[in-house]
């Protein structure tokens, strides 16, 4: 049984209760310099492991790399 | 004023004037400023034979002559269109970091005639900056925010410049950009980019923030994309090209990203991005 969530506006199937940290690993996104909003609320990098995803959740992930 | 009155009321270089009905723009030039070679009627450059009507605003300028604030404004209005100029003139834009991106964004917005620019940077100009940043050799060692303000004042002396030598942190970001209509994130360091984004989302969620990620090297220009993320945050870049040994920051691609940033900011100020 998988659940449906939205990541950067795109629908994805994930395991129920998966953590943000685990999802980032699945997506191959290095968990550094990220601005992540879970259902419109910012979560810090130290909260990725504890934040779990439920059906219908929205996740926005912005990754910053250096250069300016 | 009846239509058979022998004169009409117009403005010549911002001063009220009364001229004979039937005069064209060239006749006004001959009477008020014969040496003028740029003739502007109601914000548009026009020929000497252009007819005049009651209420027209005429600006007469001599090429090479230092214009007054009013004359420059008339020229800017002519170039950008009255709708654009009036709106950008009212705006204050915050520039977070005055390096490759920030200096180029500020130059573009200064040329547009944005009313006020708050220029924030803690650093000084170094020789390695000159490959892409809008500074000069004789400014090496100067504070970037101050040096950029000096350069902008030479481009458009009628922009209010607010240089600030300050390191922006999570704690002071919201206060630093108080009363700014839009903020451009122009940092180099990825942690600083993230921190500003988080601080603005938490402290000033209503203020649009235009951020950049992934501009190093000389990959295709078209890979530098603009997308809206996190509500009021725009993200510009290819998302992956980090500055690193072997992948430097080069003037053309930095300029592409800065151009995107300045244009997104202009579109926000004109209400085109809502």
- What distance, in Å, lies between the first and last C-alpha atoms of chain A? 44
**CA–centroid distance for B163 within its chain:** 15
Q: Residues A8-21: pLDDT tens digits? A: 999 999 999 999 99
Q: What's the gap in Å between the CA of B108 and the closest CA on chain A?
A: 16
Residue B154: HSE in the Cβ half-sphere, 13 Å Cα cutoff: 8
pLDDT, residue B2, reads 53
Low-confidence stretches of chain B (pLDDT beneath 50): 1
- Compute the distance between CA of residue B112 and CA of residue B158 in angstroms, rounded to an integer: 11
pLDDT, residue B52, reads 96
Residue B212 forms contact with A (CB below 8 Å) = yes
Give strand pairing partners of B1.
Answer: none
CA distances from B250 to A59, B11, B141, B253, B257 (A): 33, 48, 21, 6, 11
- Compute the distance between CA of residue B260 and CA of residue B247 in angstroms, rounded to an integer: 21
Residue A64 forms contact with B (CB below 8 Å) = yes
Q: What's the gap in Å between the CA of B232 and the closest CA on chain A?
A: 12
Residue B103 forms contact with A (CB below 8 Å) = no
Residue B249 forms contact with A (CB below 8 Å) = yes
- B182-185 and B160-165: which strand pairing? unpaired
Answer whether A35 sits within 8 Å of B102, measured CB to CB: no
Contact B92, B34 (CB under 8 A): no
CA distances from B83 to B76, B80, B156, B270, B271 (A): 11, 8, 19, 8, 11
Answer whether B211 sits within 8 Å of A64, measured CB to CB: yes
Q: Residues B160-193: pLDDT tens digits? A: 999 999 999 999 999 999 999 999 999 999 999 9
Write out chain B residues lying below 8 Å of A68, CB-based: 97, 99-102, 186-189, 193, 212, 215, 249, 254
pLDDT, residue B3, reads 61
Q: Residues B10-40: pLDDT tens digits? A: 999 888 999 999 999 999 999 999 999 999 9
Judged on CB neighbours under 10 Å (0-12, 13-18, 19+), B76 is buried
Among B193, B210, B242, the strongest candidate for a mutation testing the A interface, having the largest count of A CBs within 10 A, is: B193
Give the three-class secondary structure for B153: helix
What sections of A1-68 are H helices per DSSP? Answer: 20-27
Give the three-class secondary structure for A12: strand
């Amino acid at each position: 049984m998988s659940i449906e969530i939205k990541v950067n506006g795109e629908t994805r199937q994930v395991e129920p209760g998966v953590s943000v940290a685990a999802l980032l690993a699945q997506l191959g996104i290095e968990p550094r310099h990220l601005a992540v909003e879970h259902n419109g609320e910012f979560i810090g990098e130290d909260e990725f492991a504890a934040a779990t995803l439920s059906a219908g959740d929205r996740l926005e992930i912005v990754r910053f790399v250096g250069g300016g | 004023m009846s239509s058979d009155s022998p004169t009409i009321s117009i403005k010549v270089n911002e001063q009220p004037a009364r001229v004979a009905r039937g005069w064209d723009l060239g006749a006004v030039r001959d009477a008020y400023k014969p040496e003028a070679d740029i003739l502007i009627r109601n914000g548009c450059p026009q020929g000497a034979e252009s007819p005049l009507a009651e209420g027209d605003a005429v600006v007469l300028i001599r090429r090479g002559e230092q214009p007054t604030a009013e004359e420059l404004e008339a020229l800017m209005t002519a170039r950008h269109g009255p709708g654009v100029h009036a709106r950008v003139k009212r705006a204050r834009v915050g520039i977070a970091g005055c390096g490759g991106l920030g200096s180029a964004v500020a130059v573009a917005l200064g040329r547009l005639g944005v009313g006020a620019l708050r220029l924030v940077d803690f650093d000084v100009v170094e020789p390695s900056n000159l490959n892409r940043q809008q500074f000069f050799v004789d400014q090496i060692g100067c504070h970037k925010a101050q040096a950029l303000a000096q350069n902008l004042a030479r481009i458009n002396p009628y922009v209010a410049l607010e240089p600030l030598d300050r390191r922006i942190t999570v704690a002071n970001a919201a206060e630093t950009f108080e009363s700014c209509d839009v903020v451009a994130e122009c940092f180099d360091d990825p942690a600083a980019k993230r921190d500003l984004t988080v601080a603005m989302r938490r402290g000033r969620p209503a203020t649009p923030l235009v951020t950049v990620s992934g501009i190093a090297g000389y990959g295709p220009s078209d890979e530098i994309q603009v997308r809206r993320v996190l509500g009021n945050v725009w993200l510009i870049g290819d998302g992956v090209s980090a500055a690193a040994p072997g992948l430097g920051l080069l003037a053309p691609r930095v300029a592409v990203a800065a151009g995107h940033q300045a244009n997104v900011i202009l579109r926000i100020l004109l209400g085109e991005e809502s």
